[in-house]
Structure 1
């Protein structure tokens, strides 16, 4: 079987943070480098903030996440503040220039009340005029249709084990998709771990309504990581919202 610590290590292996290779990482890297105080909500294993510090960011960097195992990996770097908690747990008031939710973490906010409470907490943590940057998969692209066994990924973990990761969609109810991620032995199919998660796919108008209701104004919104507009073929909704 695989522990939570194993899963956190696998995440780092399968989803490395690299602003040179990945336009999404470059997008956030530029924003972080231009802000004195940054709060990364749903920071996971902390790769974005750890690399920002390694690259010379001298301001305040704070990551918050509810996953203890992920934070244990993040805490290998001690010159960044790491906090256990959810977006709604944020208690800072007017301390940050920039808040981020990267790697589609925003989609983990499922219910309306959870979403409103999280946005309110993020807004409160920002200084006047502070910005909140995040992305969510555009529902028109129906990304979940590719989450199936035919797209399984084989990899070797840090301990040298050969593993296979595959996904299965259990349900699509309204704008919420629930799915499982199964990690198995590719040699004999032995299931080592099954994780279940739900993600919310908000469309552009609904997302805008939530932001407006929370006291944010949309400063910029893109359909890709190169600053292109949102079109009928866009797969992402990349948003920079400003506290008003």
Structure 2
């Protein structure tokens, strides 16, 4: 079971990609059926987008999904390990992969940009978040849309980030049995720190990856978007995770 299947669970076996073994098995724990991405793929059709920028594309599940459907896709991620996995997926040859962050994307104009899963919450500082929004705005054609999700702070999703709630075990080809879970470490206002643990039973290797997410309020997210030239057209609920997160749809003006 993917941690994303839990009520507000942290995404994936390990939230970052600093370990090659963990990056290689990330999709095993996310599961072959990425139903959480279907909502965003449907938005591409809804808004008639022919080109998409996938910010924080990770191991490329969404980018490759869209590319197979004939969408022109640019995927950007700061992890070379994640991109190595992404480039092995069906349809990956149709994606333009960029190693870096949104400001590193070469000049282009796309119809839509996405930040799925935890991506919008990994920007801890106000300037980092603003810089990312500005870069995305510069990549969107006039009227193009940015879509991202962010967990509702009032739901306190982190209260379920325990080993008992998130533990899963899978048989991984080439690795044997692997265990994974997420454990909350601290909460400091909007900042929630947690550790993702992966244990490779074949040799006993234990990998701990620490991450911090920022839980911004609806009003703060709206204001930050407006400052960088967006109009928030709609804030939807995630149909597969009702009541757990905001899904922002912002238009570049």
TM-score (norm 2): 0.84
* Secondary structure at the counterpart of residue 225 of structure 1: coil
Q: Contact 2:175–2:200 at 8 Å: present in 1 too?
A: no
Match of 1:32? Answer: 44
Change (3 A) 1:213 1:50: same
Q: Contact 2:22–2:198 at 8 Å: present in 1 too?
A: no
**Partner of residue 125 from structure 1, selected from 139, 142, 147:** 139
Q: Distance in 1 between matches of 2:182 and 2:81?
A: 22
- Alignment deviations for residues 150-207 of structure 1 (CA, whole Å, 9 cap, x no partner): 121112223242121122222211201111111125699x452110111111111111
- Alignment deviations for residues 223-244 of structure 1 (CA, whole Å, 9 cap, x no partner): 232797xxxxx21101110001
Q: Distance in 1 between matches of 2:141 and 2:252?
A: 8
Change (3 A) 1:172 1:226: closer
Match of 1:82? Answer: 97
Cα deviation for residue 217 of structure 1 reads: 0.7
**Partner of residue 248 from structure 2, selected from 225, 239, 242:** 239
Match of 2:7? Answer: none
Q: Contact 2:77–2:100 at 8 Å: present in 1 too?
A: yes
| Unmatched tracts of structure 1, length 5 or more | 229-233
Pick 1 or 2: higher relative contact order, CA cutoff 8 A, min separation 6: 2
* Secondary structure at the counterpart of residue 93 of structure 2: coil
User: Quick check: 1:98 aligned with 2:115?
Assistant: no
CA-based RMSD: 2.3
The runs of 4+ residues in structure 1 deviating greater than 3 Å are 16-19, 185-188
Q: Distance in 2 between matches of 1:226 and 1:196?
A: 27
| Unmatched tracts of structure 2, length 5 or more | 1-16
User: Quick check: 1:192 aligned with 2:201?
Assistant: no
* Secondary structure at the counterpart of residue 202 of structure 1: coil
User: Quick check: 1:6 aligned with 2:21?
Assistant: yes
User: Quick check: 1:15 aligned with 2:15?
Assistant: no
Cα deviation for residue 141 of structure 1 reads: 0.9
Change (3 A) 1:74 1:226: closer
Match of 2:56? Answer: 42
- Alignment deviations for residues 79-111 of structure 1 (CA, whole Å, 9 cap, x no partner): 210000012333425x11100001121111111
Match of 2:225? Answer: 211
1:215-226 paired onto structure 2 within 5 Å: 215-225=229-239
User: Quick check: 1:155 aligned with 2:164?
Assistant: no
